[in-house]
Structure 1
Amino acid sequence: MMTEPAFKPDGTPKDIYGPDGKPKFFDDPGMDRFVAVIMNMAQEMWVQEERLMTLEGREPDSADREAKMKIFIERIFAPLREGA
């Protein structure tokens, strides 16, 4: 039974979804699962970073938070961009 993904942006290529209805980006399904694990870990790391900033009394304003988040995301995705 094929299930539709919970969120499917307009204009998404149909071949991006596997038979289970989940997006696939690599030929090896294990690689897609590995990337999902890494992204979950990155999300948790960012939550811990925000908690630490709050506990240390250095909670940034909105613009500073966005700048720090951008740097964090760039650092997480840097290995993928190196091969491009």
Structure 2
Amino acid sequence: MTDTDVIHLAMQVMLVAAKLAAPALVTALVIGFAVSLFQSATQIQEFTLAFVPKAVGVAVALLLCGHWMLETIVGFTDDLFASIPQMLH
């Protein structure tokens, strides 16, 4: 296995990790921004107002995207296991 193969594999791992993390992170970002705007407009500084909607939103995002996320990680793992013989030569 050459240095190029290792770098290519590392890039694939980081890309899959970014794809899997994106639904939860983007949801938390959007909800956090909306709650911050609401808090700024109303001058309500309640910490639970920022936490609870994010937690619910991320849970919903994981429920909606969970099947796709599972397919993505299983497909990547299958491809990785299938490429093991080529990596050894």
Structure with the higher fraction of residues in helix conformation? 2
State the TM-score, normalized to the length of structure 1: 0.43
State the TM-score, normalized to the length of structure 2: 0.41
Computing the radius of gyration over CA atoms, which structure comes out larger, 1 or 2? 2
